Structure 1
Amino acid sequence: PHQTPGETARSCTFCGRKKGPGTGGPPRGESSTASGWPPRLPFPLLSPNRLGNEINEVPFFDIQLPYELALKIFQHLGRTELGRCAQVSRTWKVLAEDQVLWYRLCQQEGYLPDTNISDCPCWKLVFQDCRGKEQTLRINWKNRIGAVSQLQYELGKVLCDVHSCDGVVIAGYTSGDVKLWDTRTWNYTAPVLEPMHGAAEPGPQPHVSFVRINSSLAVAAYEDGKCLLNLWLLLTGRDPIHRYQHNQRIQALALGLEGTTVATASGFEVKMEGPNDKGYWETAAQFEIQKLVNFLCLVPDVFGCPVAVAAAEDVVYLLKAGDQGRVLHSVYGQPVTCLDISASEAAFGVKGFGWLVNETNKILLYNLETKQCLTELGSLLGDFTCVNIQDSPPAMLVAGNRDRRVRVYDLRKSKSLCSLYAHQLGVSAVQMDDWKIVSGGEEGLICVWDQRMGTKLWEMHARHPVRHIRFNTHSLITANIPDEKSPRGASIMDDDLTAHRRHRGIIYAYEFSVDQLAPESIIPICRSSYNEVTGYNYNIGLAVPYDNV
């Protein structure tokens, strides 16, 4: 392969080089000049008569390999092995710190995925910096170190629904307003997304029933006789780009992680809408089913015709545009209690027959390609209230149950890996990654768990059930949404434009990537002389009795 002149000169210094025991140069009588191409690197070979003496002497380097071949061998090593190889000799150090190796490690760990190898002068330092930030984030998560803010909109009255994507939060209220926040920038002014021009009518506005958002689109469904659906393009501003309505109440709304396809369920009809090649919105598919839909999801990472999974009482349908709806699962008398999907699988909880011991509540995992049941998880007396497979690590699944426990399942086994007693009134929302679990309960409690230890790291409480949880490596979004949209004593005809804060519900945004408060912002009497604060400080700068008085 083509190399720069600097790389050629560096490689040629390795040619024909052998290392004697305890010396840094070639053996006596041999030349260290280049003997040809390709360059060769010395690799150690232990002879049988030297095995007993290898502790006291450095073994001979009797094998030479081309630099390219040695690089291919080193590509199978991890960061720990590369560090050990760098301590063998100067030659091995140069090879173990090669840009290609550390760029490959950065890509495998997910650090700077959209960069090229020529973008950074030293990928080893980039790897160390990213890993240090990752460890700091984990410490901040465990100790609840960071910033927390409340996303409130007093004029919206009671919170109806919340959704988030990549730090952007959308919320719908009983006043009919749809609010948008971008938690990635703390000085961001949250706009109110306007309805269609001319849509405002005298009298109270309809409640917002569902909101969804992805990287480019925001959707809101309204609770009124017209069953309106407004869509906003996040790049164009506050005015909607499309609006359509159903004849009956909208029971479920789905928006994919990417793309612009929107799926709605109203009555016995499931409709998929999306823009065509010219940018005009049209109905991509429409399905008639026999029962009312309870849950609806769009399958991610599908190119071409959109695919949706709908759960209607005790039947699960696989709906693909351009094809007839197919029944994925159907057992009479066993309704579906929760649903989540990944790119290739669908996981849903089913309620068993109460009078049969063998027919208990389970989670069924189906393959969307073969339409076959892969495994049955659980077998519990309590109903499964939430399940998350889309955000879980590969071959993992986390679920919440009405029996107050959060369970983590390995899809290759039938038993749970861990079971956490979490919430007194049942689990309402849950998400996990490779080391932690975040769960929310009907009593309003948010719990963060260490998966390996099975212990609770910290918790936060607010009024009303937790209906939304979404986190990434550095942030957490939670929403406590009231079940009662028209609280007792509050009438829509009241002159007061706001609701009491105990009836509103609340959205919390946690940011764990920020450092602790700067020492200059704390008065001198409260400054600790320690460089690092440990334990559950809850962002309190005072650390008695070790203050500088």
Structure 2
Amino acid sequence: MDDVPFFDIQLPYELAINIFQYLDRKDLGRCAQVSKTWKVIAEDEVLWYRLCQEEGHLPESSISDYSCWKLILQECRAKEHMLRTNWKNRKGAVSDLEHVPDADLCDVHSHDGVVIAGYTSGDVRVWDTRTWDHIAPFLDSEDSEDEPGAQPCISFVRINSSLAVAACEDGFLNIWDLRIGKYPVHRFEHDARIQAVALSQEGATVATASAFDVVMLHPNEEGYWQVAAEFEVQKLVDHLEIVPDTERYPVAVATARDLFYVLKADDSARTRPVVFAQPVTCLDVSASQAAFGVKSLGWVHEGSKILVYGLEAERYVSKLGNALGDFTCVNLRDSPPNLLVSGNMDRRVRIHDLRTNKIALSFSAHQLGVSAVQMDDWKIVSGGEEGLVCVWDYRMNQKLWEVHSRHPVRHISFNSHSLITANVPYRRLVRSADLDDFTTHRRHWGLIRAYEFAVDRLAFQSALPICRSSWDTTAGHNYDLALSFPYDST
């Protein structure tokens, strides 16, 4: 057998590549030590490019973009290890996004590091934390120049990779294309107040709920926005989400008290709800399922539960949990396969196993109840009504670190290298002479924080946010302090 180099003579190179493609990186390293011929095969760029794609590194790249994919994979894995270490040790840069003066924070949303916020003054601002350019532009409505200072309060804001959406208290909905400019590309008016807004994660579908109507908006082939579908529901909508990966025929999921709707744009005549005995308290959707918490009706009944509904099968597939408190938040879209994380008013964060319909892990997290939660393959970030943000390593059942602010946590969004949190006030205050003082007002306005854990490319910005101003800037970043010697990045 040693005298017959079958990979050199009898087996073509293409077939050898097909055999080696079933090996992982450790096996390829062992095969590279067998012989020179095997080393050439084991280091083929096609094999290492495939490994990079399978592990999720540089998914948008082609094989011709780099000359050595083995080295690229090593660099990506080293960066991944560095980011995970920084997450665990809370090592990185943090910044408080600048607030609109004389206004309280109403709603916050983010997508891939781009943050949108709406205020009681009617202002809508957008930050791109990926570039650490915190000079946030204002998104103007069409009548902002005609009626300065008379803008209605913002109820909801949503953002994705290309669109920004804001709903006002007077029933108007503004849609901006972030690639075009700060003026809306479409403005839609409802006759009543908007109760819920949803924006597709990727694509250009917007859904709104006002009174007993749910409207789905979508641009046509010429780029003009139009009503793609309109539905009539029986009760006021509490929660509204758009199902991912259904851009050809958009599908929305809505809950109205004890009613659950699956609204399909290609079948607008079908609005038959699924009826529950208990009101729905929270909602999240994935491409194939919808998860929502249902409220308990008293001690004589069962406790609160989370129901998982199969969108394709159109039936229940799981019934999870049995808690005394109400479920306030659930995260299905970002959770690992077959897992789901939820937050409850009983102070606990729970991980549910969809395969066994059992609770895989439960731990006490927040004293006043959990208000926001998200998880990935190794960590959970949770927010509480008391204003605490906690990061957990759920494999070790251990809290890594926490940070506190004054107001309840209403928004949490993270990826491998960044974290966005928003503390939104319980109630909006009317401006008065007592709140004219800056330090007094900042206790009521709300807070948006951006954490960046990729310190290898932000080492030059490791100074505090107040020390990041240029020489021509006299006002500091926080608390209106003036810098005698502003930070010089050069």
Q: Secondary structure, in 3 states, of the residue corresponding to 1:504?
A: coil
Q: Which residue is 2:182 aligned to?
A: 238
Q: Which residue is 1:360 aligned to?
A: 303
The one-letter code of the counterpart of 2:28 is L
1:273 and 2:217 are equivalent in the alignment:
yes
Q: Secondary structure, in 3 states, of the residue corresponding to 2:312?
A: coil
Q: Secondary structure, in 3 states, of the residue corresponding to 1:337?
A: strand
Taking the aligned partners of 2:188 and 2:146, their CA distance within structure 1 comes to 15
Contact 2:158 2:166 in 1 (8 A): yes
Could you tell which deviates more after superposition, 417-426 or 490-499? 490-499
Q: 1:329 to 1:164 in 2, by over 3 A?
A: same
User: C-alpha displacement at 1:327, in angstroms?
Assistant: 3.9
In structure 1, runs of 5+ residues without a counterpart are: 1-17, 21-25, 27-38, 43-62, 523-549
Contact 1:444 1:463 in 2 (8 A): yes
Q: Secondary structure, in 3 states, of the residue corresponding to 2:101?
A: helix
Q: Secondary structure, in 3 states, of the residue corresponding to 1:420?
A: strand
Taking the aligned partners of 1:112 and 1:198, their CA distance within structure 2 comes to 42
Larger Rg: 1
1:342 and 2:286 are equivalent in the alignment:
yes
Q: Which residue is 2:7 aligned to?
A: 41
CA deviations on 1:438-479 (whole Å, 9 max, x unpaired) are: 110101111011021010011111110000000011110000
2:260 to 316, 319, 325: 316
Q: CA RMSD in A?
A: 2.4
User: C-alpha displacement at 1:82, in angstroms?
Assistant: 1.5
Q: Which residue is 1:400 aligned to?
A: 343
Q: Which residue is 1:164 aligned to?
A: 110
Q: 1:118 to 1:519 in 2, by over 3 A?
A: closer
Contact 2:233 2:271 in 1 (8 A): no
Taking the aligned partners of 2:87 and 2:371, their CA distance within structure 1 comes to 22
The one-letter code of the counterpart of 1:461 is H
The one-letter code of the counterpart of 1:127 is L
1:508 and 2:449 are equivalent in the alignment:
yes
User: C-alpha displacement at 1:369, in angstroms?
Assistant: 1.3
Taking the aligned partners of 1:117 and 1:204, their CA distance within structure 2 comes to 55
Q: Which residue is 1:74 aligned to?
A: 20
Q: Which residue is 1:378 aligned to?
A: 321
Q: Which residue is 1:50 aligned to?
A: none
Q: Secondary structure, in 3 states, of the residue corresponding to 1:102?
A: helix
Q: Percent identity?
A: 63
Q: Secondary structure, in 3 states, of the residue corresponding to 1:503?
A: coil
What TM-score, normalized to structure 1?
Answer: 0.80
Q: Secondary structure, in 3 states, of the residue corresponding to 1:322?
A: helix
Contact 1:306 1:320 in 2 (8 A): yes
Q: Which residue is 1:331 aligned to?
A: 276
Contact 1:404 1:423 in 2 (8 A): yes
The one-letter code of the counterpart of 1:465 is P
Contact 1:406 1:427 in 2 (8 A): yes
1:207 and 2:153 are equivalent in the alignment:
yes
Q: Which residue is 1:293 aligned to?
A: 237
In structure 2, runs of 5+ residues without a counterpart are: 464-490
Q: Secondary structure, in 3 states, of the residue corresponding to 1:176?
A: coil
User: C-alpha displacement at 1:120, in angstroms?
Assistant: 1.6
Contact 2:28 2:42 in 1 (8 A): yes
Q: Which residue is 1:32 aligned to?
A: none
Q: 1:243 to 1:156 in 2, by over 3 A?
A: farther
User: C-alpha displacement at 1:188, in angstroms?
Assistant: 5.1
Contact 2:93 2:458 in 1 (8 A): no
Taking the aligned partners of 2:461 and 2:213, their CA distance within structure 1 comes to 61
The one-letter code of the counterpart of 1:320 is K
1:85 and 2:31 are equivalent in the alignment:
yes
Q: Give the number of aligned pairs.
A: 462
The one-letter code of the counterpart of 1:515 is D
Q: Which residue is 1:390 aligned to?
A: 333
Could you tell which deviates more after superposition, 393-402 or 510-519? 510-519
The one-letter code of the counterpart of 1:77 is L
The one-letter code of the counterpart of 1:329 is V
Contact 2:435 2:441 in 1 (8 A): no
Taking the aligned partners of 1:517 and 1:308, their CA distance within structure 2 comes to 40
User: C-alpha displacement at 1:330, in angstroms?
Assistant: 1.1
CA deviations on 1:392-434 (whole Å, 9 max, x unpaired) are: 1122211111111111112111111111211111110011110
The one-letter code of the counterpart of 1:466 is V
